[in-house]
């Protein structure tokens, strides 16, 4: 179960939904369950990392959820499936993302505190949360 947050550009009218939370397949699971799916849910580098870690370690678990990230430089928003691989309570791998515009590292953002971001279409800082369109998804 997750939340979708609508953002709308005040200038050009562009709208986009950003997801946060768990999806149908993106949720906490064991590495065995994940590999048993025979599906590559995540970025290929993350997927390959999980496969190689599972060969060296036993009983690993995956924590996966959609998170909203922002580029600290461009202030563009992204929703990404964040993946953490852990053994016991130790995190041994964590996914990282880069901005497709400037290649800088993205930072996790608190959508509840974020009022304005950059519109991906017109690049103006008029991309605002549309509170009338908050939906729950599964
Ligand atoms: Zn715009
Ligand atoms: Zn950027």
| 73 Cα to the center of ligand 2, angstroms | 5
Spell out the domain ranges in the chain.
2-137
Burial of 39 (0-12, 13-18, 19+ CB in 10 A): exposed
**Alpha-carbon torsion, ordered 129, 131, 132, 138, to 10 deg:** 90
Q: Where are the alpha helices (DSSP H) in the chain?
A: 31-36, 44-56
Spatial separation of the C-alpha atoms in residues 110 and 103, rounded to whole Å:
21
Q: What is the pLDDT of residues 75-125, one digit of tens each?
A: 999 999 999 999 988 999 999 999 999 999 999 999 888 878 999 999 999
| 76 Cα to the center of ligand 2, angstroms | 6
| 103 Cα to the center of ligand 2, angstroms | 6
| Position 134 confidence tier, pLDDT thresholds 50, 70, 90 | low
| Position 136 confidence tier, pLDDT thresholds 50, 70, 90 | low
What is the longest distance spanned by two Cα atoms in the chain?
A: 52
Spatial separation of the C-alpha atoms in residues 25 and 9, rounded to whole Å:
30
Instruction: Please report the pLDDT score of residue 54 as a whole number.
Output: 95
Tell me which of 138 and 116 has the higher pLDDT.
Answer: 116
| Position 1 confidence tier, pLDDT thresholds 50, 70, 90 | low
- Mean pLDDT, the chain, integer: 90
């Amino acid at each position: 179960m997750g939340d979708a947050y609508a953002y709308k550009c005040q200038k050009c009218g562009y709208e986009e939904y950003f997801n946060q939370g768990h999806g149908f397949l993106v949720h906490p699971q064991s590495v065995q369950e994940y590999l048993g799916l025979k599906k590559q849910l995540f970025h290929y580098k993350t997927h390959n990392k999980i496969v190689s870690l599972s060969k060296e370690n036993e009983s690993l678990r995956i924590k996966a959820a959609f998170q909203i990230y922002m580029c600290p430089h461009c202030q563009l928003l992204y929703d990404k499936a964040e993946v953490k691989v852990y053994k016991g309570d130790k995190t041994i791998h964590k996914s990282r993302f880069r901005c497709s515009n400037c290649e800088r590292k993205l930072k996790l953002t608190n959508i509840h505190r974020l009022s304005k971001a950059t519109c991906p279409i017109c690049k103006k800082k008029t991309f605002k949360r549309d509170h009338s369109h908050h939906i729950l998804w599964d």
